[in-house]
C-alpha cells in the first residue's frame, strides 16, 4: 500500500484551515497512488495552542471527523490524523483512522504523555493496541512518545500489526528518534513504521520534521527533511512476509524470562 506522510504543522489554532491543508494534501497523495495519507499529532487543531486544546476538542465522531470522512471519500484514500478528543470532561491526545469510504476504522488515545505540557492538558489513554484492517494490511496506531517505549511496539508486533502509523510532534533536541530509533523499531519488530512529524517553530517548541517510513529491514523507504513536505513510499505485504520468514527476533523470544519487565 502506497503510504503518504504529510509533514506539516498546518495552521495552529484553525481547524478550518487545517482541513483545507489536509484536503489539498489528500488530492496530491491520491494522484500519486496512495492508499493512505497520515498527518501529524494534533494536526486538526495545532499542538502548542494552550487552553485552546480544550476549547477545540471534539468527540471522535464530531463535525471534523465527518469533514475528514468526506475528504477521504472524495479523494478515494484512507486518512490518519491527530486531534484532541473530548469525551465528557476528559480530553485525550488522539489519532483516528478513517477509510476511503468514510468509515471510522480506529481511534487511539495516547497512553504515554510527554512532559508537563501534555500532562496539564490531556488524560492518558488506557488501551495499548488499537488496530484496523486496511487494504490487506493490519494497521496499528501509536502517538509520538508512545513509540519510544519498546513494550508498546512489541505489543503491536505480537498482535500482528503490519504497518504502525505514528502521528508525532517530535521536537529538538530529540531528532535521533526519527533518525535512528524508528528504523530500529521497524527492524526489531518486523513491521513498517510510518512516523509523521510536525515541522518548524510553534510556541515554545521547535519541531524537527524528519518524517520517515521505515521497513522491516530497518531501511528508510522515504524520509522528509526539515520543511513542509509530502513524502510517499510503499508498505509491501510480500516483502514483509519474506522479512518475517528470515528474521528470527519474534520466533526466538523467551517470554518466560521476561517477567521482571512488568
Q: Where are the beta strands (DSSP E) in the chain?
A: 2-7, 36-38, 78-87, 90-98, 104-109, 131-134, 137-141, 163-168, 192-197, 199-202, 205-208, 212-214, 220-223, 229-234
Could you list the active site residues? 41, 110, 144
Terminal Cα-to-Cα distance of the chain (whole angstroms): 35
Q: CA triplet 71, 75, 79: central angle to 5 degrees? A: 60
SS3 of residue 133 by DSSP: strand
Q: Supply 256's cell numbers.
A: 518466560
CA distance 238 to 136: 11
Strand order in the sheet with 212-214: 131-134, 137-141, 163-168, 192-197, 212-214, 220-223
| Alpha carbon distance 142, 130 (integer Å) | 8
Q: Scanning the structure block, which residue is given the C-alpha cell 535512528?
A: 180
User: Residue 181's CB: how many other CB atoms inside 10 A?
Assistant: 18
Amino acid at each position: 500500500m502506497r503510504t503518504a506522510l504529510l509533514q506539516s504543522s498546518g495552521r495552529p489554532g484553525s481547524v478550518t484551515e487545517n482541513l483545507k491543508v489536509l484536503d489539498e494534501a489528500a488530492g496530491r497523495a491520491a494522484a500519486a497512488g496512495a492508499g493512505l495519507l497520515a498527518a501529524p499529532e494534533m494536526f486538526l487543531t495545532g499542538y502548542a495552542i494552550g487552553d485552546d486544546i480544550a476549547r477545540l476538542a471534539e468527540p471522535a465522531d464530531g463535525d471534523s471527523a465527518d469533514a475528514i470522512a468526506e475528504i477521504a471519500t472524495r479523494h478515494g484514500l484512507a486518512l490518519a490524523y491527530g486531534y484532541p478528543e473530548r469525551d465528557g470532561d476528559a480530553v485525550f491526545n488522539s489519532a483516528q483512522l478513517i477509510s476511503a469510504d468514510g468509515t471510522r476504522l480506529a481511534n487511539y488515545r495516547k497512553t504515554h504523555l510527554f512532559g508537563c505540557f501534555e500532562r496539564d492538558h490531556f488524560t492518558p489513554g488506557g488501551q495499548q493496541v488499537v488496530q484496523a484492517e486496511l487494504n490487506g494490511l493490519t494497521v496499528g496506531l501509536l502517538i509520538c512518545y508512545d513509540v519510544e517505549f519498546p513494550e508498546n511496539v512489541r505489543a503491536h508486533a505480537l498482535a500482528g500489526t503490519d504497518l504502525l502509523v505514528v502521528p508525532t510532534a517530535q521536537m529538538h533536541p530529540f531528532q535521533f528518534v526519527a533518525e535512528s530509533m524508528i528504523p530500529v523499531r521497524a527492524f526489531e519488530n518486523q513491521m513498517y513504521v510510518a512516523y509523521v512529524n510536525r515541522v518548524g517553530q510553534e510556541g515554545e517548541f521547535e519541531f524537527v520534521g524528519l518524517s520517515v517510513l521505515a521497513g522491516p529491514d530497518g531501511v528508510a523507504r522515504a524520509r522528509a527533511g526539515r520543511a513542509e513536505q509530502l513524502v510517499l513510499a510503499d508498505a509491501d505485504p510480500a516483502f514483509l512476509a519474506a522479512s518475517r520468514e528470515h528474521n528470527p527476533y519474534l520466533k526466538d523470544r523467551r517470554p518466560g524470562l521476561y517477567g521482571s519487565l512488568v
